Structure 1
Amino acid sequence: MTEPVTEPIYVPALPARRSGFAAYGGLAPDVRAAVAPLWTVPPRVGPERTPGRRPTHPPDPDALALGGHLHRALTGIARVQRDRPAWVDTRHVESGPRAFVTGPYPLRPVTGPERAAWQQVACAEAAAAGGGGLGVRVRPDPAPGGRWAEGVGRLLHRIAFAHCPVDLLLDLGAVDDTDDAAPRTALHALELLGPLHPWRAVVLLAGAFPRSRPEGYGAALTETGRADRDLRDLLRHTGGETGPQPLYGDYGAHDPASADRVSDTGHDPLRGAVRYTTRRTFLVGEVRAGGPGPHHGVRALARDIVDSDDFRGASYSRGDRWLQACADGTGPPGTGHPDAWICAGHLQHLTHTARELRRSA
């Protein structure tokens, strides 16, 4: 089936691992055509990484194993993307210039102002060779003054030799209902960085799925707000006059640190969660560890979601269909694996967000 050719309107930041690949690959063609992911290759070993900071030690003690890990991730990205555009951030696994993406498909390597000069140059060389352009991922400093933007200017000067399209990926990280500074930080960053370069695209990324249990957690199903969605109103009033209109981006149905950990499940307190995206909230249900037949708890949570007024019906997406089958007991046994819950969460979230953005365009 030939996919429609459209310009992407939505950029989810997804980890380059099985649950992310399955979710993006499982989107309906019309939805996939509207989505351009920012893939981040997660670390192979070690503690959770801190985005926006240059690591003080090599990313992996086993160079051979690291190379295999990176190769598998890039192969998975290329397979699921086919000929659709996407950005690829290898910040957690970079041990040398061989980490960068080239090939006859529109994958765009990612650099940033905090990264070493050799990384920035190698990224630009790979972008020029691949022909798809590159992304500059920036974590803006909320402090006034904007001296951090000078690093972006130096980076742009260093990579100017590549003569390729450059995209600005403005990454706010985690935002929640109490984060009043996020809109101001975004506007300030756009004002500072917008005039620095004729950006091909500008993406504003923020994430709202909770990293820890939200207030009131403990009921079978809890609602938590999606503060990232409130930033959409900001997009309608920025850009367009001196640069491109910012694209909406988020972290799918997972917390923003997902790709900074070795595993999706890891030690995350909400690793055992069934999730659903409503218009302005997440419905979150924790799957209790231990006890006989944990799949019964998963099915009970799925029934709570399916019975809620916010459920959009099994025909809406593969994620909604999985939840319906899980609730009815018609899905496969062993539905209690976190990878399946995360994949279903991403599927329905990406579908809902892309279609909502298309309606409001």
Structure 2
Amino acid sequence: MNRSATKAVNGGATMVEPLYVPVLPMRRGPLAAYSRLAPFLQAAVSPLWTIPLRTNPAGPPGPPGAVVAAQRATPAWVDARHLEGAPRAVTEGLWPYLLHTPLRPVTGPGRPDWQQSGCADFARACGNGLGLRVRAADASTEQGAEEVRRLVERLAGWDLARDLPVDLLLDLEAVTEEDHQADKCALRALELLGPLTRWRSIVLLAGSFPPTTPEPSGWGPIEAQRHDWDVWHMVRHARPELPVDVTYGDYGAHHAFAADAGAGGGAPWGVLRYTTDRTFLLAKAPTIGDGHAEEVREIARRMIAEPEFRGAGFSEGDRWLHACATGTGTPGVGNAESWIRAGHSQHLAYAAWRLSA
């Protein structure tokens, strides 16, 4: 079912409703994975780019120019919540990059007043609208929903923000347990938030990639359930009366708090990952040590032997995994960062393909 649709906003400008919204940290691996998607798949993907936690928030906010180049004409959002203690890093180091692009700033309840008002003014000046990112756990309570209502009223009350298109980014965050109850939380939040305004789009975000790595190294792959996929289907089935479709969103092939920690690096292991219709296939692999390359190749061979493997031609991530398994690619087997990039690549391609079918 292809749910993409063009509609008029801002007095005649057109936009395409998002099909798939992955929450991705603004780092080299996810940027490379997204920018190298096949054009017809990339057109279906509207990321929520999150500037990750950094040791120097007042410094330059990562590679916004790379995001602008990658997005071209596809709508997306940029969330700078980890920079909100350094306003100039946002107002001078980030927002100027978003001018004349389809990128939209993100605000939400509980954020500083300067950020909420400045975000609305900037979004209106750009003409792209903004995203309102709300924790579903908070919004499913009367008190939390009231805080969102007050923010929506403030947005409508600022002169420069009148008739501002607003996207609801409803975030379930990590949904990794079997008895998660996330669908009930999302439905309650939508019941409370749905009537607050005429949302341009409603996106349900959730991450089911496990936060811990499988043990031991070299064993597997093991399976982790994609609860986020199930929750989205349940919510859409239960709330068909919403004025806009509930768009599927996840955290790519990484755990939901990847942007809330430093980049890390230096660990003697990483995780090879692959996405199927209902699960993630995961295997911990060494990055150093005698014989580690052959161990990684053996893990890759087991992964491409799985019946769900889609073939080397499906995406760059699939191509890398097949080349690693067969020894036909570049010398070496990569490292933890390149495995994340390959994992995001195959995951984004598969999710976009499934949702576009």
Q: TM-score range by the shorter chain?
A: 0.7 to 0.9
CA distance, structure 2, for counterparts of residue 218 and residue 303 of structure 1: 12
Q: 1:245, CA displacement in angstroms?
A: 1.2
CA distance, structure 1, for counterparts of residue 249 and residue 45 of structure 2: 10
Q: Does the 8 Å contact 1:12/1:37 carry over to 2?
A: yes
CA distance, structure 1, for counterparts of residue 254 and residue 143 of structure 2: 31
Superposition map of 1:328-347 within 5 A: 328-347=326-345
Residue 85 in structure 1 maps to residue 75 in structure 2: yes
For 2:328, the aligned partner's letter is T
CA distance, structure 2, for counterparts of residue 254 and residue 185 of structure 1: 22
Residue 323 in structure 1 maps to residue 321 in structure 2: yes
**Residues 59-83 of structure 1, C-alpha deviation per residue, up to 9 Å, x if partnerless?**
73xx3xx1x2x1x421121011111
Q: Secondary structure at the match of 1:88?
A: strand
Q: Secondary structure at the match of 1:141?
A: helix
Q: Does the 8 Å contact 2:107/2:119 carry over to 1?
A: yes
**Residues 305-353 of structure 1, C-alpha deviation per residue, up to 9 Å, x if partnerless?**
1111110101111111111111110111232311211111111111111
| CA RMSD after TM alignment | 2.3
Provide the TM-score with structure 1 as the length reference.
0.86
Q: Which moved more, 1:95-104 or 1:162-171?
A: 95-104
For 2:24, the aligned partner's letter is L
Q: Does the 8 Å contact 2:202/2:245 carry over to 1?
A: yes
Q: 1:226, CA displacement in angstroms?
A: 1.0
Aligned equivalent of 2:133: 137
Aligned equivalent of 1:104: 100
Q: Which moved more, 1:155-164 or 1:36-45?
A: 155-164
Q: Does the 8 Å contact 1:235/1:245 carry over to 2?
A: no
Q: 1:258, CA displacement in angstroms?
A: 0.7
Q: Does the 8 Å contact 2:31/2:66 carry over to 1?
A: yes
Q: Which runs of 5+ in 2 are unaligned?
A: 1-5, 7-15
Aligned equivalent of 2:19: 9
CA distance, structure 2, for counterparts of residue 158 and residue 226 of structure 1: 37
Q: Structure 2 vs 1, CA of residues 132 and 143 (structure 1 numbering), >3 Å: closer, same or farther?
A: closer
Identity among equivalent pairs (%): 49
Q: Does the 8 Å contact 2:34/2:345 carry over to 1?
A: yes
Superposition map of 1:59-98 within 5 A: 60=57, 63=58, 66=59, 68=60, 70=61, 72-94=62-84, 95-96=86-87
Q: Secondary structure at the match of 2:137?
A: coil
Q: Does the 8 Å contact 1:239/1:245 carry over to 2?
A: no
Q: Does the 8 Å contact 2:315/2:345 carry over to 1?
A: yes
Q: Which moved more, 1:139-148 or 1:150-159?
A: 139-148
CA distance, structure 1, for counterparts of residue 38 and residue 139 of structure 2: 42
Aligned equivalent of 1:148: 144
Provide the TM-score with structure 2 as the length reference.
0.87
CA distance, structure 2, for counterparts of residue 299 and residue 152 of structure 1: 49
For 1:42, the aligned partner's letter is P
Aligned equivalent of 1:56: none
Q: Does the 8 Å contact 2:75/2:103 carry over to 1?
A: yes
Q: Secondary structure at the match of 2:136?
A: coil
Residue 27 in structure 1 maps to residue 37 in structure 2: yes
Q: Does the 8 Å contact 2:187/2:235 carry over to 1?
A: no
Q: Which moved more, 1:292-301 or 1:303-312?
A: 292-301
Q: Does the 8 Å contact 1:16/1:39 carry over to 2?
A: yes
Q: Secondary structure at the match of 1:230?
A: helix
For 2:244, the aligned partner's letter is P
Q: Which moved more, 1:256-265 or 1:201-210?
A: 256-265
Query: Number of paired residues?
Result: 334
CA distance, structure 2, for counterparts of residue 140 and residue 217 of structure 1: 35
Q: Structure 2 vs 1, CA of residues 144 and 305 (structure 1 numbering), >3 Å: closer, same or farther?
A: closer
Q: Secondary structure at the match of 2:152?
A: helix
Q: Does the 8 Å contact 2:141/2:189 carry over to 1?
A: no
Q: 1:44, CA displacement in angstroms?
A: 1.8
Aligned equivalent of 1:276: 274
Aligned equivalent of 1:191: 191
CA distance, structure 1, for counterparts of residue 181 and residue 239 of structure 2: 20
Superposition map of 1:107-256 within 5 A: 107-141=103-137, 145-160=141-156, 161=158, 162-163=161-162, 164-213=164-213, 219-239=219-239, 241-256=241-256
Q: Secondary structure at the match of 2:82?
A: coil
CA distance, structure 1, for counterparts of residue 343 and residue 18 of structure 2: 21
- Between Structure 1 and Structure 2, the one with more strand by share is 2
